[in-house]
Amino acid sequence: MSTRDHVIRVLRGGEASRIRFTIPAGGGLTINAARFRAVARAIENNHIQVKVVTTFPAGVGALYHPDTNTIETPPLLGRVSDGLLLHECTHAAFDIGHVGIVAVADEAAAYVVDALYFRMTGLQRPRWNAQLHALAGSVADGLLRQYQQGSPGVPAVDTALWLALGLFIMSHPVYIAGPAGHGGSYLHNG
């Protein structure tokens, strides 16, 4: 299976189809299967390209470039890389949807998505316990509790944990000098 086909399969897979939550950013923005299916369609229609890359900057596991509509991913070899892929696909979904959201909220939502994927696939925490992932995991745990209780509708993230995640992202070395560190936004021009 080609990497492109694998990406589409992950975007349409069971875990991505079960991810659903709202965030306080963007006036109550929802992240759900429809966003991932839109990214899958954009890849199928060659609006978004998928490129395998083996070298990334320190602390970076994959990238989405909105200026070229390109997802850069390491070779997809398991749940960790698939979760990081969904993280980048969250950025792609905001881009192609022209979503007005600040970069720190964009990143926080993407971290919650990858944490949900890691948890839903049974990936043990020692394999994804970097500080950003661990804090996003706390947000994901709250959402999973709501899923398990059968809460109707789309659950909202815990606001206090969401704000803590955002503050941590803003001060993290990977993000501090960029838009997520100083309140800017990423390019969302579709």
Q: Give per-residue pLDDT as tens, 36-76.
A: 999 999 999 999 999 999 999 888 889 999 999 999 999 87
Residue 153 has pLDDT above 90, yes or no: no
In terms of phi and psi (left: phi > 0; alpha: psi -120 to 50; beta: otherwise), the region of 150 is left
**pTM of the entire structure?**
0.96
CA 153-159-161 angle, to 5 degrees, is 115
Secondary structure of residue 50 in the 3-state scheme: strand
Mean pLDDT of the 85-97 span? 97
**CA 110, CA 46: separation in Å to the nearest integer?**
22
Q: Give per-residue pLDDT as tens, 92-124.
A: 999 999 999 999 999 999 999 999 999 999 999
